[in-house]
Every structure is written in structure tokens, then in C-alpha cells.
Structure 1
């Protein structure tokens, strides 16, 4: 039996869930799968995972580069531009090898990259460095500069991922000293880099480790140990009830921690998880935990609100299903971080808890999230998922056998088919590209996380007067185009074709719809009534040819163009609309 048979079976099923062709995209499937497993505790969505993957040529041995600042995944320069302070910065550098061979050259490349990207004086040439990688290196440089005054702690994770047997390198009887010594060289390189307070972490992940990671499930059903029997308040006949309770700080810390001591990030409502309103508040909470031992913690703190689908009390332990912590983010993070830092095993102080048992599929949970956080000055942009239009879209998708993840990874965590899941960011990209009056695929491609930040943009994308079928069809159209593009092969495929497939999904979708309707700018009623079954390889092939004509014309007018940068410029979206008829006539 093949040594990789079990893992390959998992990968084949995973490819089917993603609507990927396993035979043609084995390496890509392996990369996405490995990245998801290694960063499972970060609760990333599909867009965040794809954004972290480099792919293509000239990657200099980096297939994945993920950056987290105080547990927030950095996806764009916009997040860095507003950055003022940082406490912890994590940099995850991955190289994926879809082979059983454990290639020591991977370690050599890691060292070369480490000596470059952690040296702020390094000059890079696009002739030798992948454009996506250069962009992320520029982000890192900006992060290093902007956070220097706050003296953050850096931790750099190097991961060599393959299908090999880790024990061939790391074993007591006959360790591979050549490989291990090369790893030590990377560590030495980091010690001598421009950054202070930097930790190095390396690991080789083989087929056994990937299998073990895949079997680890996120636990949304947990037991919360309470100090005393809670006050139970029944309110309605349909199972809703609430509890007022308190828990020991250490017991609450254990509730927040997984078996390896990592914070269960996914327990926090995703819409408010990354809201760090005031580092001063966090410092005060941490100071209270560390120093105010003569005063009980709950006297000084408003406590935490938890909602769950179901709950049962056994003695002084409350067993909860489908848990979400919807208020008390800073309190919870501070308790976890401080106790973790102090490695404290006992503390007789308590935390106040408000626990509400409600069906997450009705409006009660959304109202609780919105109400409890509006009292804490959380920006409305972070509470979008609680809007009635978002619930209406979710219900319409469900009725049509699709799953709208207005709450990050909600349906993914419920093991729904990933190819049927549409995130709020992806839907915003689709609407921006092919639905709204000023179609802007470049903006959609540039940074999906900012598309709903401003009220004006959000209200245009999620208009309550819009037919709900438009939302579903826009997502189905782009998904259909994406599937066709993945299977598309070009004669003598070169870097241009590779870049078109990677960076121009939304542009091709936008052009395809104009070809379908015969006009450069169409109304959204066309999207509502479009026959998606008619979108086929022939039409997408024509759309790509039109795109090439438009790019050629753009280059004649502007001079030499960079395909990666152009894909993110609003000016190019306007150019598509203005020159569509001229270019489509040439194809």
C-alpha cells in the first residue's frame, strides 16, 4: 500500500469540497490543505488563506507567507497604514512540497530568504522575485518601521511541509545532522538580523503530522466550570433561557484554551474579534489581574456575554453547544494572555458571566451581539453581519442549497460543502465586479476586506431593495467562471496567462457578463435573469481574448504596464467599460 494513500484520499475529498480538479491541481490542493491545517487555530477564511499563498514562479522558496499582528491577519497595506502599535507580530513562512522526498534545499532557500527579508536595506529585483512576494515583503518593511517605537515581540515560524516521514530526520538513533545543522543556520541568521526581540520556530511537517492536524476538530461544545450554581432565568417556551453566573479566572482561562494551550480564537464572534478599541483598556485589565489581588476581579469588570444553541447544567458545570463569545473580547483576551504569560495555576478571583441559550438561526443572537457591543462604541462596520439584509441573504441562499457565511466560517465549521459556501467578503467582491452601476473588478481584486467598511459602499452593495436572486446569481456566476478558468489551458502558456488566471477572475467575470448582454454597462436585473448554465468554456475563452485586447490597448495608451498592479487599479476598470465595444469587435 502506498505510504501516502490515506493522505491522498483526504486530499482528493478536500479537492472535491473546494470544487478543484485533483488530478490537474494536486500541488495547489496540497498547498491550500496544508496552509489550512497549520493555521487552523487562526480561524482563517478561504480568502485569507488564498491571500497568504504565493504560487507561481520566482517565489524564492516561499510558497506561503502569513502575517498576524496581535492575532489579526494582515491582508492589505490598508491595515498597516492605520497601524500605530503592536505587541506581538507573527510571521509564518511556509514551503509546501507535494512529495515524499524531504529536500534539504528547502532549508537553504529559507536561510537565503531570511537573510533578505529581515534586512531592511535589501534591494529587490522583479526579475528574480515574485510580484506577490515583493508586495508582502513591502508590507513587512512597513510593519517593522511603524511598530518600532512600541518594541513588539516577533515570532517567525518556518514550516517545511511535505509527504515525507519526519522521523527520518528527527529521531534519537540516527538523526539527519546535515538537515538539523542547516536549520540552526537559519536561527543564527535571525539572531543577526535588524530586529530585536525575535523568536525562531522551525518544524518539519510530514504526512503523519498533516493527518493528525486534519483530525483535530474545533470544539464548539465545551464545559464551563462555574463557582456556584448559576441563577437561571427562563423567558420563553421555545427553549430560550439565560444564566447569571461567575467563574474562577483560571477555570475561564482553561475554557478559552485548547489542549495545546492555544487560545480558541474561533469562539469569539468573528465580527468583533479583531476590534482592539484601546490598548490602554487591555493594559488596565492585565494590570488588574497581575496586581489587584485584594479586590475581586468581577468588582472591577463588566464581565463576558456568551450565547449558545443549547446548554445543560450538571452540578456546577454548564455544558454549552455552539458557543460564541459576543461581548467581553478585551476582557477574555487579557485574561488569556496574562495568565498564559504568568503561567499561573491558581487564582481565587472570579469573572462575571452572562450566558444566553438561544437558537442561532433566529434573530435573537444577532440582536444580542448588536446591543451588547453598541454600548462599547464598536464601529457599526464591524456589526454588518447582524443587519436584516444579511439574514435575508443567508435565508435565501439556504433555500437554494447555498450557504452564506455572514458569520465568518460558520457553515465551514458545520462541515457544509465548501464549494457551496459564500463569504460576506466574496459576495462583496462579486457585487462590486458585476452588479453595481460602476462595476469595479479592480477594487474587488485589490482588497476585499475594505469593500464594506464605509457606509456608502456597504449600502450600495447590500441594498435592501435589491432582488435576493441577484446576490445568489452574482456569486454563482463568479464561481462558475473561476471553475472554468482553473480548467483552462493556453497554448504555450507563459507568465501573462499565469497572471491572467491568478489576478483577473473578477475582470473576466465582468467582461463575460457584458458579452452575454451585448452592452458594456448593464442593469442588475440582467444578473437576476441570466441563465448561468450558458456560461461555458467558449464564452470564457472569448472573455479572456477580449481582456487581452483591452490590456493591449491600455498598454498602447499608458506605456509599459505591470499586470499585477493594473489588476488592482480602478482606472483600469473604467477603461474596460469605455473600451469594451471597441475590443469585443476585434475578437
Structure 2
């Protein structure tokens, strides 16, 4: 089988499994496929919504297909997202990554196309170039809004004192050609552009070419095996879980953790870590780097060490071990700080020793507990800590029986190649549940963290009493995936730049529509208590509701009604509160949306 046939088969399989992601044409299909495959490697925790939000409409002939702003591991979609991050007191030690993509279905790396794309990137990153210049070249509003987001995020981090080591810009030029056949002219363009852009920015800019070999490689998750050698035989613990505790040379450890190019750390070995590198501006990381350079022999005394889990551990000798599919789950800041120290070439880290805990843990639930408990002394996203509650485990198991993958554990299903809207992460699930059952979509959109940090709110959607019907989660998930697909198709038909498109492209629109449609299906707008209402006590109830969701005509009619109600609610709000933003008003659901839904339900009952 040729490589081209193999790749075509992969793309066909991807859209057969995720038909709701089909684009407008083959070119967009290729872009969507590539973004999903490259996501685990470059876009951190991005989900399908994040990936689609990066596809830029209105780029004209500027040679950019997608742009992403990733701040501290999260994809920012709008300036509103940036405002929320600004409240973070650690903004000065943030990490920024901006990614640009140009994809072509063709089999070569075109010089003219590459130069055009890179000229656009340079105009975007050169803050002395007015945004208006891009408009004059054919860029439309949606494209310019993304450029504004890139620039404002970049500027705010610079003003906050973030150093160049924590700011990264990458341009990806991806085709189905053979990267090995790239001509000298293309390489010259790459070298010259990298140099010229790095001269005008604070940060690091690089250009990546991906051809058919690299694309196929992205889709194939290969097992990783490393060799670890302790300084002396480690302490071995046989039961209940085989583990080893010992001291290892830092330089030898880093050698094993490098990528195949030996120029950067292998990010796949840190996928299960609960956080990303927080940067050298964080005091503790700065101190670690300084200690590594100035006092390496005392580093061990000041450091807690590394915790690594693996599927299998085999010993070659008393000190040397073969480790299959390792994951560094605690100590990422240490490793990256040492890596940064080593890059300065001011010192060798061969004098540094580290304590290493190596645990053979193939059981997923046990792995999750290790990750959670070994990181509990540090600030972790609350959803990651809540993920080990019994209710989440039950929901995951139940939804999996219905082809919904509840990703309570970060990247658990995406790393297995399961993608698309059927993968729902823990934070998104909370937003969906709160919008449908607590009738507060705007609150869910703006304050998802509070759905985990506020115990009373958290228990309303994830009760301690696990005897509740799991159909609450099944109904919400099925309604979400169906309405998501309908809305995506609908937005694709809307006129560019129209008020309608702006409303229904916003992140809050889907949650508001879920609030409306679920209320109309339940024929009531009051909040629902999982432990008292027994909404799904009768199995025929969930069967009837799922039947409506699966009936394309009926659910599409409900969606159309929901659109009318939402547009009317927004018009009423803007009439009462001119200049105010309904997407930030936590009272919008109760004061403007629910009364219209109640009137619609009463009208339908009277007709019946």
C-alpha cells in the first residue's frame, strides 16, 4: 500500500467516525484532520471546539488557514478569555504559544505560497505594522479579531515582564508532499524569515514543515521505551505495587527524556502531568536554575525529586532498568528548569543528583490517584482533583456504553486516538449540566471553575449520592452532541459578518440553546435536583427523550424554535440595557430567556 493510499484511508476513517466534523470542501477536511492529529503534540489541552475556533474565515489571499493563541496551556478564543486570564496574579510568569497553520492537499512545498504565508505572519507579529494594512490586503473582520487577540495577549505578557524564553511563535506549512525533497529556495526562505522575525519580536519564532511521512507519524502512537540507570541499586518495593526508589544522575535522566532530535524534551513523556512548565519567572523555578548553575552538588538537598509511572519496569542489572511507556507525573518543573540550565551552557548538570520514584502502574485508576496525590501540595486545576470522585467514574463507564467518552482525566481518550465532539471533558460536562438542569447558561459559560470550587454548586450536578440515575448525564451528553452538530452546520450557512453569525458563533450560544431546548423537552423551566426530582426514574422517559434527539426533523425544529427565542431575548435585553453585553450578565437566563421559554411552553399546551 502506498503512503498516499494509507493517508487517504486515515482521513476517510477519521470522518467516518466523526461525520459532524466534515468541512466545506476537501481542503478544509484536510485541515481539520491535521489539526486533530497535531493537537496532542502542539495544542496542549485543546478540544474539538478549540480547534475549530482557530480556523480563520476571511483571510482573503493571505495564506493562513488557522491561528491559535495558547496561554498557560489553554486556547484563548476571544479577548474576553484574555480578560479572565488577566486576573491571574501569576500573569508575569505565564507561557504563551502562538501557532499559525497553512495546509495544502498538494504534494509539494510551494515557494510562492510559503512566502505569502510568512509575509502575513511577519505583518501580524510586527507591532509597528497597523492592523489596517492587513484589511487593505483583503483580511476580513473575523481574521482581524484573531490578529488583535494575538497582539494584545503578546503585548500584555511583555508588559507583565514575561521573558522571551516563555514566548513561542510557530508557523506550520503542511502538505502531502515529501519533506526530503524540499528545494534550496524553500530552505532559504525559511532561514531568512526565521532570522528576520526573531529580530523584531521578544520570544522565539520557528518554522515547521510537515509532509506525508510526518502526518502519518502523528497518527501512530508508538510505545516509548527508555533506559534508566541509578547511581546505586535502588530500594525495591514488591507489594502491593512494584516500585523503586533511588538516586539518579540528572544529566543521564535528561538524555533519556529528550525527543528523537535530541534538541528538546519529549513532550509525550509529560502528558499525564497536571500542569505545564510554569516558566523561569516563577521564583522556585528561577532558584532551581540558579542552584543548578551555581551550586549543583547541593541541588539534591533542596529538591523533592521526580515521580515517574510506567506500564512496565524490567531490570537489566542491579542499577539499570528498562522502562516502557513512562510518564513523569511529578517533577516537571524540576526537569524543565534543569533543561533550561543545561541550555545556557554555563554549567554541566552531571554533578546533580535527583531522587527518583519509579512505579509500575498499569491500572488507570491507580495512576490517577498517584497523579492527584503527588501534586496535591501545588496549585492544580480543581476539576483534575475532583476527577477521582466516584460519581465521575460511574458516569464515564455509563456513557462509554453509549459511545460518549467522558474525559474526566486530561487527554485520556484523545491520547488513544478518540476524537471529535463525542469526547466531552470534565469542565465542559459541568457547563453542559449546569445549563440544562440549573438553567444558568451564562453562569456556566463565565464561571466554570466555580462549578468545582463551590461545593454546593458542585454537588448539584455531581452528587455524593451515587444512586441517582445516570441518565441525567446520558440525556445531557446526547443533546449536546446533536445540537452541536446542528449548530455547526447552521452557522456555516450564515452570512459572513452578520449579526446572526456573531451571536451563534459565540461560545455562550450553544449553552443557551441547550437551556432552551431542554426546557421545551421537559416542558418546564424550573431547576432540577438530581437527588429529588427522579426525572428519569421511569426508563421510558429517557427512551422517549432520546427518540426526540435522534429524530432529525423534530430536533431541528426545536433548534429553530430555540434560535427564535434566543434572538428575541437578546433583542429585549439590548433594548433594556443598551451597550451592555448579555454574555456577561449572569441574570440574562432568568430575566430574559426563561420567561420567553415559559410563554412558548404555555402556548404549545394551550394549542394541544
Q: TM-score range by the shorter chain?
A: 0.7 to 0.9
Shift of 1:291: 1.8
Cα distance change of structure 1 residues 133 and 357 upon mapping to structure 2, 3 Å threshold: farther
Distance 1:2 1:355 in 2: 42
Residue 354 (1) aligns with residue 371 (2): no
Partner in structure 2 of residue 205 of structure 1: 210
Say if 1:290 and 1:338, in contact at 8 Å, map to a contact too. Answer: yes
Q: Deviations 1:364-387 (Å, cap 9, x if unpaired)? A: 444433433334565756522233
Partner in structure 1 of residue 232 of structure 2: 228
Partner in structure 1 of residue 338 of structure 2: 335
Of 520, 529, 533 in structure 1, the residue corresponding to residue 547 of structure 2 is 533
Residue 573 (1) aligns with residue 561 (2): no
Of 163, 174, 177 in structure 2, the residue corresponding to residue 152 of structure 1 is 163
Q: Deviations 1:59-91 (Å, cap 9, x if unpaired)? A: 765432223456665563222431431375432
Q: Deviations 1:184-229 (Å, cap 9, x if unpaired)? A: 468646634xx4x3433224434444234434x3645543333333
Listed as ranges, the gaps of 5+ residues in structure 2 are: none
Distance 2:36 2:231 in 1: 37
Comparing 511-520 and 123-132, the one that deviates more: 123-132
Give 3-state SS (helix, strand or coil) of 1:407's partner: coil
Partner in structure 2 of residue 6 of structure 1: 6
Q: Superposition pairs for residues 371-386 of structure 1, below 5 Å?
A: 371-376=373-378, 382-386=384-388
Listed as ranges, the gaps of 5+ residues in structure 1 are: none
Say if 2:407 and 2:426, in contact at 8 Å, map to a contact too. Answer: yes
Residue 214 (1) aligns with residue 213 (2): no
Say if 1:369 and 1:386, in contact at 8 Å, map to a contact too. Answer: no
Partner in structure 1 of residue 16 of structure 2: 16
Residue 115 (1) aligns with residue 123 (2): yes
TM-score after normalising by structure 2 = 0.79
Shift of 1:351: 0.9
Shift of 1:108: 2.9
Distance 1:142 1:417 in 2: 29
User: How many positions carry a matched residue from both structures?
Assistant: 571
Alpha-carbon RMSD: 4.2
Partner in structure 1 of residue 255 of structure 2: 254
Say if 2:573 and 2:582, in contact at 8 Å, map to a contact too. Answer: no
Partner in structure 2 of residue 514 of structure 1: 519
Say if 1:34 and 1:210, in contact at 8 Å, map to a contact too. Answer: yes
Between structures 1 and 2, the one with greater helix share: 2
TM-score after normalising by structure 1 = 0.81
Say if 1:117 and 1:137, in contact at 8 Å, map to a contact too. Answer: no
Comparing 394-403 and 549-558, the one that deviates more: 394-403
Q: Superposition pairs for residues 96-175 of structure 1, below 5 Å?
A: 96-99=103-106, 102=110, 104=112, 107-108=115-116, 110-112=118-120, 114-116=122-124, 118-119=126-127, 122=130, 129-131=140-142, 134=145, 137-138=148-149, 140-153=151-164, 154-164=167-177, 170-172=182-184, 175=185
Cα distance change of structure 1 residues 10 and 354 upon mapping to structure 2, 3 Å threshold: same
Say if 1:84 and 1:147, in contact at 8 Å, map to a contact too. Answer: no
Of 283, 286, 295 in structure 1, the residue corresponding to residue 286 of structure 2 is 283
Q: Deviations 1:108-146 (Å, cap 9, x if unpaired)? A: 354245324542784569995444751562364144234
Say if 1:80 and 1:139, in contact at 8 Å, map to a contact too. Answer: no
Say if 2:93 and 2:282, in contact at 8 Å, map to a contact too. Answer: no
Give 3-state SS (helix, strand or coil) of 1:475's partner: helix
Shift of 1:577: 1.5
Q: Deviations 1:204-261 (Å, cap 9, x if unpaired)? A: 434444234434x36455433333332111223xxx2221122211122123322134
